């Protein structure tokens, strides 16, 4: 096995110079660095990353902490696409990824800092946290660099990436209004999701800007699940038969509402228009294909990872990044 002593001998420099060149120190002459890197490649040198991490006090490992990841949540493919974006970015920047999850029970047994230290991660990306999650307070107080997804908390070492959820919801409701709808319902997520609050705000603003009354009885909670949204849709359609359209704060919930409409004998979109949010893979294959607000889930992960590594490498402070959304018109709204 090739060691840095072998490289030093071949390059005619000290072991210290080789070590500093391989670890990216700026006090090594660029010509010397290139020579050392070329020799290391020729000798098929593979660094002991654990030993290097102990010396540098860095593991070059990013942790992705996901809350609420289960078989049901896998249906919308959201977490997988975010994870794909994270993985591609850290691979490009020569970091490793550790995926771990948390639950309320686990949080009582182990603090956020303990969890991160045990897994020897340099920084963390958090996804799926509710805004009342006890870990969030620890995240802000911790000195571990962190990027949150869809949670608007920032500090010196904490940033976040999200999409413009207010504008996204407004785009959906405006599309319905421009199509002639006046009685528009909303099936939202839950109160402890930042995106739910933002999408509710967009729904209300779009109605108000069009001079339409906001009726609180037209709003129901679907908890981001297909099953609960189906129940919410059944309730709305039974109690408010005047509804001609429903905007759903996620595609899974939109699929649930379409089920409830069909069960009530209503055809979509002829008698009820439905718009979702997220543009998950299933949206294009539903019956009818779902009109939705697309957000770039891969980019959410990629941007979060890139911003976190920039923090770790002291190229920038914690960032707040907002991505755009797009209305995808299919056949579920008329």
**Among 196, 168, 200, 181, which Cα is nearest to 273's?**
181
CA distance 147 to 64: 10
pLDDT tens across 91-127, in order?
A: 998 899 999 877 666 666 778 888 888 878 999 999 9
Q: What is the mean pLDDT of the chain?
A: 90
Q: CA 70, CA 77: separation in Å to the nearest integer?
A: 11
The whole-model pTM stands at 0.81
pLDDT value of residue 71: 64
Q: How far apart are CA 16 and CA 195, in angstroms?
A: 51
Higher pLDDT, 120 or 244: 244
Q: d(Cα 224, Cα 277) in Å, to the nearest integer? A: 11
Beta carbons of 290 and 175 less than 8 angstroms apart = no
Q: Which region among 47-56, 64-73, 106-115, 277-286 has the lowest average model confidence (pLDDT)?
A: 47-56
Higher pLDDT: 141 or 196? It is 196
- Residues whose CB falls within 8 Å of the CB of residue 152, separated by 6 or more in sequence, listed in order: 160, 162, 194, 320
The DSSP 8-state label assigned to residue 212 in this structure reads P
Alpha-carbon span 307 to 315, nearest angstrom: 9
């Amino acid at each position: 096995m090739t060691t840095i002593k072998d490289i030093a001998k071949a390059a005619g420099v000290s072991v210290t110079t080789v070590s500093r060149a391989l670890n990216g120190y700026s006090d090594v002459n660029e010509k010397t660095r290139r020579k050392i890197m070329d020799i290391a490649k020729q000798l098929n040198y593979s660094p002991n990353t654990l030993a290097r991490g102990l010396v540098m006090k860095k593991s070059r490992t990013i942790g992705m902490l996901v809350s609420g990841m289960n078989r049901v949540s896998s249906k919308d493919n959201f977490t997988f696409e975010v994870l794909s974006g994270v993985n591609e970015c850290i691979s490009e920047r020569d970091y490793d990824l550790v995926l771990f999850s948390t639950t309320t029970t686990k949080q009582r047994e182990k603090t956020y800092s303990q969890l991160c230290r045990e897994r020897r991660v340099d920084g963390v990306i958090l996804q799926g946290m509710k805004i009342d999650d006890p870990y969030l307070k620890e995240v802000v107080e911790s000195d571990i660099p962190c990027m949150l997804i869809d949670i608007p908390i920032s500090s010196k070492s904490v940033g976040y990436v999200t999409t413009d959820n207010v504008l996204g919801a407004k785009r959906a409701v405006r599309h319905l209004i421009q199509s002639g709808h006046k009685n528009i319902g909303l099936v939202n997520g839950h109160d402890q999701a930042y995106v739910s609050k933002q999408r509710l705000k967009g729904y209300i603003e779009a109605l108000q800007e069009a001079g339409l009354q906001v009726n609180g009885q037209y709003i129901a909670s679907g908890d981001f699940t297909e099953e609960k949204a189906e129940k919410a849709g059944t309730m709305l359609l039974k109690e408010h038969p005047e509804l001609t359209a429903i905007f759903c704060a996620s595609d899974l919930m939109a699929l649930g509402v379409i089920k409830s409409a069909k069960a009530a004998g209503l055809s979509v979109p002829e008698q009820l228009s439905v718009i979702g949010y997220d543009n998950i893979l299933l949206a294009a294959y539903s019956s009818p294909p779902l009109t939705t607000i697309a957000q770039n889930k891969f980019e959410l992960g990629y941007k979060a990872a890139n911003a976190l590594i920039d923090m770790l490498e002291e190229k920038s402070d914690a960032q707040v990044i907002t991505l755009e959304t797009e209305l995808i018109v299919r056949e579920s709204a008329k």
